[in-house]
Chain A
Amino acid sequence: MSSLTIRGVHKDFGPVRVLKDISLEVRSGEFLVLVGPSGCGKSTLLNLIAGLEVVTSGEIYIGDRMVNHVSPKDRDIAMVFQTYALYPNMNVRRNISFGLEMRKIPREEIERIVQRVVNILQIEELLDRKPAQLSGGQRQRVAMGRALARNPSIFLFDEPLSNLDAKLRVEMRTEIKLLHQRLGVTTVYVTHDQVEAMTLADRIAIMEDGIIQQFDTPRGVYKNPANLFVAGFIGSPAMNFIPTRVVQRDGGYGVKLEVEGGEVHAFSVPEGIISIGERLGRDVLMGLRPEHISDSLPDLEVGSQVHELVSPVKVVEPTGADTLVFIGVNGVEVTCRVHPEGAAMPGERMALKVDMSKALFFDPDSGARVE
């Protein structure tokens, strides 16, 4: 187990700068998830940590050791790949022991380690099979077994679940989390799936365009997104962004909302958002998560922070536990999360409560938070 420190790392591929001034501190035993859309540089960052690519500038430390010029095999890491990368010509046992053989570990010791891994992952009956004879889930387990056998100080996962079907993905996700809780090894996990990121991580680094947009706990990035990108990326269904204008309201500030069908409201901006005053009369983007526009908001009564509106419903999407209702506000489609019994039919009008205390505001040009 080791901490991982990344300081001011840049990475260029030819003239293209794919990572810009990346700095991260991962505590020993922590589970870090790097998440972002494809092409954001997250896999490149993982490859830099693994030593499969070389940094252009900056420093990477594993524990106290600077590893910039240390080869992958000497970094004391193990990696699980998206394609599993099992050696096709070797059976499962050899796949697991290959890395140990390369390290000239004595035969009896290898036997012992393989047995330990087999017990952890319960893959005893697969030992003599070739990778081609395994299902996707089994390959995934073997790939993890190969990583476990090395007993590394850092685990690296490169989108390990994206080739599995939906059900298996959820199962393996839980398994990875259990494994981490049990072994407590520092882990860096790359994914483009924000649900995976939220469920697995101790802390999440959200990347876009080669820059870390926010580095925080799952709760932190959800409740308190640093900018428009993070707010839109984290959460499913995604946060609503409503273009609006700041107006004066009851001695404070409000935003103008015009509901499709004619209703016009001025909802109050929470008092904590001090700098909204500087934008009086100008456009802002208001962010509201679907669960904050609902038919009933438990524990909240209509008051200064909770507003009501009535709107015709355009589309209704039942998801089981909740039903998503789509309405039009200020010319954009807004998703509301309501109780299945409370949902109106398409075309009907529906009364909805809006929890403005949860509203976030963003600069429409730069995407920066207005706080």
Chain B
Amino acid sequence: MDKRPAEVVPRAPGVLAGRTLIYVALILAALYFLLPFIVMALTSVKTMDDIRTGNLISWPREITLDAWREAWSSACIGVKCDGIKGYFLNSVKMVVPSVVISTMMGAINGYVFSKWRFRGSEVIFSLLLIGCFIPFQVILLPMARTLGKLGLAQSLTGLILVHVVYGLAFTTLFFRNFYVTIPDDLIRAARIDGAGFFRIFWRILLPVSAPIVVVTVIWQTTQIWNDFLFGVVFTGGDTQPVTVALNNLVNTSTGVKQYNVDMAAAIIAGAPTLLVYVVAGKYFLRGLTAGAIKG
């Protein structure tokens, strides 16, 4: 007869108290981090009168989406009063190709650096990694000159190019480290089976790359969508991304400061990255911790 001690010892009263304490602490921490967002959300649905007379976290007397409408389609940014929708679209048009291109190129680079090593490939890879540590500011001037020479200055295409180049270091690193965990024998077997460089990539490696693709896409989307510096330097007027437009909207000095419109615009500008995290966040963690594929 052996009784496991865990079953006979009654739960000590201290355990429950400890549990409660942990949850209270966690909820408080969550509230603390959520507070700015709550204030933003509340302010965005208030009227200006409400904002002027009430306090920061008071409940709106009347919920209205007027500020959202205005932020989206009629707020004045600079001299134009079309809201941020055009700039939001700019961001989408810029982020999607940047993410797709940099992810694809990173995948191919990672494939080469892990499975088709050549003389000097490790050196090139190390040099590429330095790209992860170069601050944005350092490349502003040389990149501006380069874009000018290429005839891409002040264009979305130019901004896409900048983001692709800047992102390559990270995407290559992600894919390379993922593919290193995939056995080389798989590539050899495919070579003997008659598959070539690209076919092995498409048919064997890419189908098992879902975890790292998710990680890379989230990373790149967040980085590129949230970028302000490249956007403000390399685009102008109608081609600006939403982050730059948001800044211009908030900093417009004419007229009354419309806090509700500012907040609505800020939430709109931040929504896509929030959405990406909510939808794919758990895959992000899973992908980051993904180990080798067995067999």
Contact = CB atoms under 8 A, between A and B. Distances in A.
A134 B194 CA distance: 25
Which of B188, B189, B203, B208 counts the most chain A CB atoms within 10 A? Answer: B189
A132 B295 contact: yes
A84 B295 CA distance: 6
Contact of A102 (B183, B195, B207, B294): B195
Given A89-B207, A89-B208, A102-B199, A83 B191 contact: no
B183 A85 contact: yes
Interface of B: 183, 185-186, 188-195, 199, 203-204, 207-208, 293-295
5 contacts: A73-B192, A79-B189, A79-B192, A83-B183, A150-B193
Nearest to A77: B192
B295 A99 contact: no
A79 B194 contact: no
A81 B185 contact: yes
Contacts, number: 69
Given A85-B186, A132-B294, 9 more contacts: A47-B188, A71-B191, A73-B194, A83-B185, A86-B295, A89-B207, A98-B193, A99-B193, A146-B189
Nearest to B293: A88
Contacts of B194: 73, 99, 102-103
A162 to B, nearest CB: 13
Q: What's the dominant secondary structure at chain B's contact region? A: helix
A179 interface: no
A78 B192 contact: yes
Contact of A87 (B186, B188, B191): B186
Contacts of B204: 87, 89
Nearest to B188: A52
A77 B207 CA distance: 26
A134 B295 CA distance: 10
A131 interface: yes
A102 B198 CA distance: 13
B79 to A, nearest CB: 54
Contacts of A89: 204, 207-208
Interface string A96-130: 00110011000000000000000000000000000
Interface range, A side: 20 to 34
A99 B295 CA distance: 18
Nearest to A143: B189
Contact of B191 (A72, A131, A134): A72
A150 to B, nearest CB: 8
A85 B195 contact: no
B193 A73 contact: yes
B290 to A, nearest CB: 13
Contacts of A82: 185
Contacts of B207: 89
Contacts of A93: none
A88 B295 contact: yes
Interface string A146-171: 10001000000010000000000000
B111 to A, nearest CB: 15
Contacts of A132: 294-295
A131 B183 CA distance: 14
Contacts of B193: 73, 98-99, 102, 146, 150
B207 to A, nearest CB: 4
A140 to B, nearest CB: 10
Contact of A81 (B189, B203, B208): B189
Interface in A48-84: 50, 52, 71-73, 77-79, 81-84
A10 interface: no
Contacts of B185: 81-85, 158
Which of A50, A83, A131 counts the most chain B CB atoms within 10 A?
A: A83
A337 interface: no
Given A85-B186, A85-B189, A131 B195 contact: no
